[in-house]
Chains A and B, each alone.
Chain A
């Protein structure tokens, strides 16, 4: 009997080792596919919800919470949705809908009264997308959505859009129509030939699908036609914009991008009242579609770069309470009839624009990478056809000719305090010249082709084509308070 007991004890010890090994071997698979992310969940749930979640109902609790978020969406109570997004994604990290909607919500929906989104949330949106992708590595959706934020919302750092969409492309479940977008990201990232090769690859695959008798998808044929049209357009643009000639080492040929066109950027900014700015300026491009980015931010805004922010910098973890002591405003100045005017009122949104720092930076930035095709036909993707006597910059975005200038401005000036209480602070480029509404006849939008007016070779590289206004006096920004 004693011997038998010893054998059982030995067997128990042996089996214990076996189960420990098995358990630890299974743990990573369980953590990847089945585990909730409970860190912080307890803090966000009511006791009854927590009990229900612990009792095996966590997906149900997550589902009901998400339904609750729906009613907050309808009521416009956007702040209340944030903790729900966090709790739901922690309780059920495989609810792709919550991740995707949450990202969009955080990235787009927090706006001021003039519908400018609060970009301080962008790192959180990116972090949520990254977390969703990490928790759902076998489906394309969160990789695609995170790339979309870079491509559509941030409109900068396109290498990140390429990275995310490249990864999305490796997933088996990606929809064919969504694969096409990677070419757009390549183009905006300056990988023009890679985009062509990518389109060609997609076309070969689409041709194969159409030829496949077993393929019953009615969209296959139209999809193939779309890809072919995109490839044709891209190749025509590569030719007309002189890209092929340039990369093949041909000499100066009067392609549509030659000679570079001087956009004659000028701007004047007036602080009309506390936190109210008025912009006016010139941009000698007549065809509609120009958007100049304007930024007003803390001079020491975290991870700031000229003309934007490296939004990946703070995107390590989802933080639904962005720093409330920072200020970052970004908007677009729309050019019509070669000039722009805009009033920006930040006075009604103290949470979004707290202006706690002493120094701020006003930036103006234009990149041909984001321009619509009819303007890119003249400027090309990298700005070969774009110049400006005063503000052309080839350094802040390597490989791209952009227009950039900036002004420093103080807190007292923005808040109209102290010596600025009775005097409107002004910043303007020295080439700024006031243009009335009738400077070009009327406020009607004239749409003239840039390309048709520049197709013939010109002796002077900066000579303005017909219909374009020559730039004013050349010079840089003017010192503060010079008005």
Chain B
């Protein structure tokens, strides 16, 4: 356990010092800071546009950070040969793999938390409110995004044990895009009577296998607060559990591959 924590701590320290991540983070923060300027585009829709835009910025920035951070984690260690100095100590490969992942996710979480705080400050300033009952729910979106991005990081980690970083970058990005959109496509197939039952069955199979990132996109009720959602907490818990289970699956697959990988 100590080995995992040590590796995670080192990975976290490295991650927050990486310039490329810091630049992505800064771009995200800049967009968040200028978000109230979108007022000129949004007469009578200020709240919708502000919350929609800021949550979108957090999601996009976090996705970029998650992918860029994790696709290079293992390959960099191999390329710089630092992995040998670690693995020659009493550290198992799986401990190294999990420690790396946890360190990356912690760094991701810290950056997302910072952006969430900024989102709440920007919203409070623009809407002129300090009411915690209005401000606190805004954090629900980024919280679910955190699970989403942790899952995305796990996809990238798993693939990083198998493919080159550049290929991994596009592969992970593609899986993210498909995983975000497939829920809607699946529903369209299910609702449409004209779709062939075989197509429906295949979509059901894909739906069962593919990580469904769309499930974590819960920003709509935050943007339209007049919505009444039944069992919201249960949905959040269920979705978080889904994310954690999928992350464990991906890490286990990654470990299986990494154990046999020649380094």
Q: Bits for A398-438, please: 1 = Cβ < 8 Å to B, else 0.
A: 00000000000000000000000000000000000000000
B48 touching A94 by the CB < 8 A rule?
no
Q: A67-B44, A94-B224 are in contact. Are A57 and B56 (CB under 8 A)?
A: yes
What are 13 of the A-B contact pairs (CB < 8 Å)? A12-B253, A20-B208, A20-B209, A23-B208, A31-B187, A35-B183, A36-B220, A52-B56, A61-B52, A64-B49, A70-B44, A96-B224, A96-B226
Contact of B221 with A56 in the complex, beta carbons under 8 Å: no
Task: Give the residues in chain A near B212, CB-CB below 8 Å.
Answer: 23, 27
A contact residues, range:
35 or more
**Does the CB pair B256–A5 fall under 8 Å?**
yes
B60 & A70 in contact (Cβ 8 Å cutoff): no
Which residues of the other chain, A, contact B183 by a CB distance below 8 angstroms? 27, 30-31, 35
Q: Known: A8-B252, A26-B239, A35-B184. Is A59-B208 also a contact (CB below 8 A)?
A: no
In contact, B242 and A26 (Cβ under 8 angstroms): yes
Interface residue total, chain B, C-beta cutoff 8 A: 56
Q: Do A92 and B56 touch across chains, with their CB atoms under 8 A apart?
A: no
How near does chain A come to B227, taking the closest CB pair, in angstroms? 5
If A26-B235, A67-B45 touch, whether A136 touches B52 (CB-CB below 8 Å) is no
How far, in angstroms, from A38 to B180 measured CA to CA in the complex? 12
A92 touching B220 by the CB < 8 A rule?
yes
Q: Which residues 14-69 of A have a CB within 8 angstroms of B?
A: 15-16, 18-20, 22-27, 29-31, 33-36, 38-39, 52, 54-64, 66-67
**For B226, what are the chain A residues with a Cβ–Cβ distance below 8 Å?**
96, 139
Check B52–A67 contact: CB distance below 8 A. Answer: no
Kindly state whether residue A95 has any CB partner on chain B within 8 Å: yes
Judge whether A138 and B229 touch: CB under 8 Å: yes
Interface residues of B in 51-83 (CB under 8 A from A): 51-53, 55-56, 59-60
B230:A94 contact, CB within 8 angstroms:
no
Contacts of B221 in A (CB 8 A): 33-34, 94
A63 lies within 8 A of B246 (CB): no
Residues of A within 8 A of B (CB): 5, 8-9, 11-12, 15-16, 18-20, 22-27, 29-31, 33-36, 38-39, 52, 54-64, 66-67, 70, 92, 94-96, 136, 138-139, 172-173
A22 with B245: CB separation less than 8 A = yes
**Cα distance A20–B186 in the bound complex, in angstroms:** 14
Nearest first, the 10 closest Cβ-Cβ pairs linking A and B are: A60-B52, A138-B228, A59-B52, A63-B48, A57-B56, A20-B208, A63-B45, A56-B59, A94-B224, A63-B49
Distance A186 CA – B39 CA, assembled complex (angstroms): 45
Residues of B within 8 A of A136 (CB): 227
Closest chain A residue to B186, Cβ basis = A27
CA distance A23 to B60 in the complex (A): 23
CB contact under 8 A between A29 and B53, given known A56-B60, A67-B45: no
Given contacts A18-B245, A19-B242, A29-B235, contact A138 B227 (CB under 8 A): yes
Cross-chain contact of B223 among A15, A59, A172 (Cβ < 8 A): A59
User: Shortest beta-carbon distance, A53 to chain B, in Å?
Assistant: 10
CB <8 Å contact, B238 and A34: no
Among candidates B51, B56, B207, B231, residue contacting A24 with C-beta atoms closer than 8 Å = B207
Q: Which residue of B lies closest to A9 (CB)?
A: B256
A88 to chain B, nearest CB (A): 10
Cβ–Cβ < 8 Å partners of A55 in chain B: 56, 59-60
Chain A residues within an 8 Å CB radius of B52? 57-63
Q: Contact at B252–A34, with CB atoms within 8 Å?
A: no
In the complex, the answer to whether A33 meets B229 with C-beta atoms within 8 Å is yes
A50 to B: closest C-beta gap in Å = 12
CB of B166 closer than 8 Å to a CB of A: no
Contact of A34 among B188, B208, B217, B248 (CB under 8 A): B217
- Given A19-B246, A26-B242, A27-B186, A8 contacting B256 (CB threshold 8 A): yes
Cα separation A25 to B239 with both chains bound (whole Å): 10
Cβ of B219 < 8 Å from any Cβ of A? yes
